[in-house]
Amino acid sequence: MSGAELLGVALIAAGAATVQLIAGFGFALAAVPLFSVVIDPHDAVIVSLGIAMFTSGAQAWVGRAATDRTVAGSMLTGAAVGLPVGWAVFTWADDRVLGVVIGVAVLVSVVLIARGLDLRHAGRGLDLGAGALSGALTMSSSVNGPPLVFTLQARQFGPVRFRSTITTVFAVLDVVGIIIFALSGEIGGDELTAIAVALPGVGVGAAAGIGLRRYLSPARFRGVVLVLLVIAGVTAIVSALTR
């Protein structure tokens, strides 16, 4: 990767980390479509997972006491079914197809997240299904948050319980995803360099997010995030189709 590409990755990671710390979700949603514009879409998936492994792991550890372990366990059980499906998509899809998959996943996510349904009384099947979709998206696009965000919001989780539960699921999926990519020989020097270069930017973005969330209304910021995600999703699709 060139110096310009690495700088782009670092800046995008910083912005995505700010979003993650304010909203409790959104790192991959914000980062992956923009990563796929400045670097190869396959690399974008791996770099995003590598970075998210650190950010989600840290957040999950800090919020571990508030995690709903029953819901998280059901989601991870479902994810075990979805991971191989996502791996097949990642392996067989070319760069243009993968770029479109990433962009479409983001746009569909915006619709799901914006719906705001109340499914507090839904059974365990909802969590298993969300986990399966998230597992498939982990390996195919790294944009694995939307099914989990939709489900936990529909279950009316409060901010602390929501953030702790979702980051716990993210942390496990990210680690599993990176292990699979490493064992299959998909992670090389370029990907490791990009992850290393991005981590300081992530630290700056996280600090900014922690500071900003004291002053921004969560509802208002959520609306801004959804608008930005639409722009990111469209950008990823246009970039993939014009490669």
The model carries a pTM of: 0.77
- DSSP labels for 109-122? HHHHHHH----TT-
How many other C-beta atoms are found inside a 10 Å radius of the C-beta of residue 233? 23
Q: How far apart are CA 77 and CA 221, in angstroms?
A: 32
How many structural domains compose the chain? 1
Whether residue 126 contacts residue 151, with contact meaning beta carbons closer than 8 Å, is answered with yes
CA 198/CA 47 separation, integer angstroms: 9
| Tokens encoding 204 | 């700056």
CA triple 185-188-192, angle to 5 deg: 130
Pairwise CA distance, residues 138 & 79, whole Å: 9
Residue range(s) defining the domain that contains residue 226: 3-241
Q: How far apart are CA 114 and CA 88, in angstroms?
A: 29
- pLDDT values of the chain reduced to their tens digit, one per residue, 243 residues: 777 888 889 999 998 888 777 766 678 777 888 888 888 888 888 888 898 888 888 878 888 888 999 999 999 999 999 999 888 888 887 767 777 776 777 787 777 767 766 677 777 888 999 899 889 888 887 777 778 877 887 888 877 888 889 889 989 999 999 999 899 888 888 889 989 989 998 888 888 887 877 776 666 666 766 776 677 677 767 766 765
